[in-house]
Amino acid sequence: MDPSILVWTAAGFVLGAIPFSVLITERISGQDPRSFGDRNPGAVNAWRAAGWRAGIPSMLLDFFKGAIPVGLAHYRFGVAGIGLIPVALAPVVGHAFSPFLRFRGGKALAVTFGVWAGLTLGEAALILGLFFGLFYLTIRPEAWAVVLGMLGLLVHLVLRGIAPALFVIWTGNAAILLWKYREELRRPPSPRPDLLAGISSRLRQ
């Protein structure tokens, strides 16, 4: 095995494992984001705990800790094919099962966007964002928007002629997201009440 694959896999895992949301929120407000909302150590709860000053940097850093190691390994150092699989999954695994948080990490959505940005120079992350945004605005809970967004990304990749390595990466990434969102996914998807109210209002006009 190319030693650079091991180096980038290790670097991606360690970088992914750094709990930026917890560190930034505690620095700004002295509070732990895991005490808010769904108690997930992620950017959304960082925002709840300390506002945009914690939420935005946390989200960006979670994104970049996926995008930077994967993008550098792939486009600067030529890691490709099977060797790209552990490199791309390492930041997601590190974030979701961070050893710095006793292996109870975040849900890995922002780092997922980062990884796919690094793999495709932003294209796949944009497609994922479009699908996720569409479903987030129309159905609840959020977990179903994540799942359907990932399926939309898969359709896009297949239509573009997906490489076997990318399919394995997608499968591993999707499996981690399914595990992290498993509690929410026990609730069946349903239209958002505000969407139904808007449709009803239009029909009455």
The pLDDT value recorded for residue 153 is 97
* Closest to 147 in 3D by CA, of 176, 111, 104, 114: 176
pLDDT at 199 > cutoff 50: no
Alpha-carbon torsion 114, 13, 72, 58, what sign? positive
pLDDT at 97 > cutoff 90: yes
pLDDT at 77 > cutoff 60: yes
Residue located via tokens 């150590």:
41
Instruction: Provide the domain count of the chain.
Output: 1
pLDDT at 202 > cutoff 50: no
Write out the two tokens for 105: 């990490």
Write out the two tokens for 24: 């930034």
Mean pLDDT for the stretch of residues 39-66: 93
Question: Could you tell me what percent of the chain has a pLDDT over 90?
Answer: 83
The pLDDT value recorded for residue 205 is 43
The pLDDT value recorded for residue 195 is 57
pLDDT at 181 > cutoff 70: yes
Domain of residue 7 covers: 3-204
Q: What is the pTM of this model?
A: 0.91
Mean pLDDT computed over every residue of the chain: 92
